[in-house]
Amino acid sequence: MSKKSVMPTWTWHSVWPAPAKLNLFLHVVGRRADGYHLLQTVFRFLDFGDSLRFRPLANGEICLRYPTPGVAPEEDITVRAARLLQSTTGCTQGVEIDLEKRVPMGGGLGGGSSDAATVLIALNHLWQLGLSREQLQALGLQLGADVPIFIFGDNAFAEGVGERLQAITLPASYYVVLQPPVHVPTPLIFRDPELCRNTPVLDPQHWQVGEGKNDLQPVATRLFPVIAEYLDYLQPFGAAMMTGSGACVFVPVADLNTAHGILRHQIPVEVNAWVAKGLAHHPLRDV
């Protein structure tokens, strides 16, 4: 009997990062006819995020190696991103997706959106589809308002529902990030009758770091008071704010030692907290 070859018939491609983001401020400046809100915000990428690996499949199947408990694979945003790319381009290749999740869900850190963006960028490359970044951004917008920024690749001042993006240069900064023990459903915050929807429009050219507030924060802290408690932990160290629709909160800190000092000595041990570095751009910007 001949010995079977042990050569692998496939390989996992290298790790593709999907960084988290912060909203350094988030103003609601109006509402579209379809109910979506018009925003102004600045997105900053973090050196903290999820990791994905891909194994191309010749049979056209799209599958997730470790599906999130409680989420049907077909509803997972990574699978939906791959299917959208297949249906748009007519591509007959498939893929197995291995997602290593670190970014909490319902945290306002853009985890799911970033995963979807990384799927679009990686499969465009691995399936050799040749779509431009602009085309991928337009596809991303069909999956969620926060997806295009992760394809755009630069920190940005965003308008519209988050799809009109202008690259922005931000100073080096660290952030102490706290994760309150709640998952905030984004639609719940946006449909709240008390949400402020008429903050005056800023001129993006004149925006400065530290300017602005998060209009979603008063609603989120009213519905989930633990978010306010967590903001109180950070308030002594600077302008603490919630990111996105919450629940995570953060404070900018200029240097790493100070950030670690706050984390070690000023935050109760039971609080899920970490220090993240602000990135100059998305790690896949130039892929």
In the complex, least distance from residue 191 CB atom to ligand C5P, rounded to whole angstroms: 6
In the complex, least distance from residue 10 CB atom to ligand C5P, rounded to whole angstroms: 33
Q: How many helices (H) and strands (E) does the chain have?
A: 8, 10
Nearer to ligand C5P, 161 or 263 (CB): 161
Cα angle 77, 137, 207; round to 5: 110
In this structure, are strands 272-277 and 164-167 parallel, antiparallel, or unpaired? Answer: unpaired
Query: Looking at 21, 115, 154, 215, which residue is catalytic?
Result: 21
Peptide bond into 247 cis (omega under 30): yes
Query: Looking at 50, 146, 154, 215, which residue is catalytic?
Result: 146
CB atoms within 10 A of CB 99: 21
Task: Tell me how far apart the alpha carbons of residues 78 and 62 are, in angstroms, rounded to a whole number.
Answer: 10
Residue ranges binding ligand C5P (CB under 6 A) = 36-37, 39, 144-146, 161-162, 186-187, 190
Nearer to ligand C5P, 171 or 200 (CB): 200
Residue 118's Cα: distance from chain center in Å?
11
- Active site annotation includes 146: yes
Nearer to ligand C5P, 37 or 44 (CB): 37
In the complex, least distance from residue 264 CB atom to ligand C5P, rounded to whole angstroms: 34
Residue 238's Cα: distance from chain center in Å?
23
Nearer to ligand C5P, 26 or 259 (CB): 26
Q: Which residues are catalytic?
A: 21, 146
